[in-house]
Structures are given as C-alpha cells and as structure tokens.
Amino acid sequence: MARQTILVVEDEEDILELVRYNLSGEGYGVLAVQTGEAGLSTAKREHPDLVILDLMLPGIDGLDVCRELKAYASTRSIPIIILTAKGEEADIVAGLELGADDYITKPFSPRILMARIKTVLRRKTKESVNEMADISIHNIMIRPGRHEVTVDDQPIPLTSTEFKLLHLLARHPGWVFTRYQIVDGVHGDNYPVTDRSIDVQIVGLRKKLGSAGKFIKTVRGVGYKLEG
C-alpha cells in the first residue's frame, strides 16, 4: 500500500518540526510549508492525503486556505485538521463550517494529534468506498462499479458526463446544485465549457431516463436537484 502523505502548513518552526518528526515516525510522507500561499499551491500540485493547517499564518490565513481548498473539486475531498490557539472558539467554529474535518488546540499532545489523524484518514477511506456503492432511488438503479444505470430494470445507455451528473445528484437527493457546482463536480476545475451547457446535458439525461426523468427538478434561478 502506498505511503500516505500529509501536508503541514505551520509558520512556527518548532511546532512544524515537532509535527514533522512525529509524522515521519509513524511512517507518513511529510510536506512542510510555512505560509498559506505555499500551502495552497502545494495542496493543488501534490494532492496530499490530509492537511494539517494552522489558522494564524502570515499572508493568507488558515481560514482562507481552508475556504479555497474546499471550493475546488480537485482539493475538496482532502481532509483538513486545523490547529488553533487554545480558546479561539470562533475560529474553530468557522473552520468546521468551512469544511474542516477536525481541530486540535495548541499546545497539543503529539499522541493525540496522531490519533486524530488516523481517525480522519479512516473516515476518508470509508467515504471513498461509499462513493462506489450502488444507489437505488425511485425506479432508478445506479451501479458506479459497473458504470451502469437501469430504470425499471431496463439498461439506460448514458455518456460518461451524463452518468457523472446523475451520480452526483443521486448521492445527495434533495440537494440543489448550481450549474457551476455541477460543472465543477462532474468535470473538475477549469473545464472549458459554460455552465449553461449543463442545461443541455440535463435535457438529454431526462429524455434518456424516460418516465424517471421527471425526478430531476429545475430549481428556477438556482440549478437542479434529484427529488428524494
């Protein structure tokens, strides 16, 4: 199994070295940077398995780093554990609301940090497996492992984009996705199409799904959802 890599974004040299030493001792690969800008560029380039993110950073602070990492499809799934000064409850809440997975306050026990890291990484692995789980909703069956969709047990031939679009909506029934979020989720960052092209994909998908196409709802002025 490939060694997991952790990105540490921390401007205090002694804390950075403490975390690096303990991570290396546990067998993790370590990427260490001291600014928010370097953290963003390294995460986007290297796609680590987890980010340990200090909130008090020079330049771009930790909350802005977290916000940007969670805004893009290519880095959105990377778990983040935030480091914060003891008592900064508002920062902890803000980080968790932006999508951070856990937090630890300074000063901290390296053993507790390692335990938190292992817990978050196990959760990420479980979620990755769940993304490949079959989904049954209304009379639609989606089998990601086979890249197969059936309606009333009849196979529905979909393009790769149509399949990804339906799978995205079906994983979150009832959630409303904007056109931009769908483009980002289906194609990844910087895909060279306009968000209005999603309207065309939705029309084609509804047509192929036949009677089940009615479950894909237009939310006027916002985007689309799959009725739960």
pTM listed for this prediction: 0.60
In contact, 4 and 49? CB cutoff 8 Å: yes
Say if residue 110 is preceded by a cis peptide, omega within 30 of 0.
no
What pLDDT is stored for residue 190 in this prediction? Answer: 46
Q: Which residue has the higher pLDDT, 17 or 188?
A: 17
Q: How confident is the model at residue 2 (pLDDT cuts 50, 70, 90)?
A: low
Tens of pLDDT, residues 105-120: 888 999 999 999 999 8
What pLDDT is stored for residue 55 in this prediction? Answer: 93
What pLDDT is stored for residue 128 in this prediction? Answer: 62
What pLDDT is stored for residue 37 in this prediction? Answer: 96
Which domains, and CATH codes, for the chain? 5-130 (3.40.50.2300), 135-226 (1.10.10.10)
Max mean pLDDT among 91-95, 114-118, 130-134, 161-165 falls in: 114-118
Any alpha helices (H) in the chain, and if so which ranges?
Answer: 13-25, 36-46, 62-71, 73-76, 89-97, 110-130, 160-171, 179-187, 197-209
What pLDDT is stored for residue 195 in this prediction? Answer: 63
Tens of pLDDT, residues 181-223: 787 777 654 444 556 788 888 999 999 999 999 999 998 888 8
In contact, 9 and 51? CB cutoff 8 Å: yes
Tens of pLDDT, residues 152-172: 999 999 988 889 899 989 988
Q: Which residue has the higher pLDDT, 183 or 52?
A: 52
Interval 66-82 mean pLDDT: 88
Please state, for a pLDDT cut of 70, what percent of the chain lies above it.
Answer: 92
What pLDDT is stored for residue 101 in this prediction? Answer: 86
Distance CA 29, CA 147 (A): 33
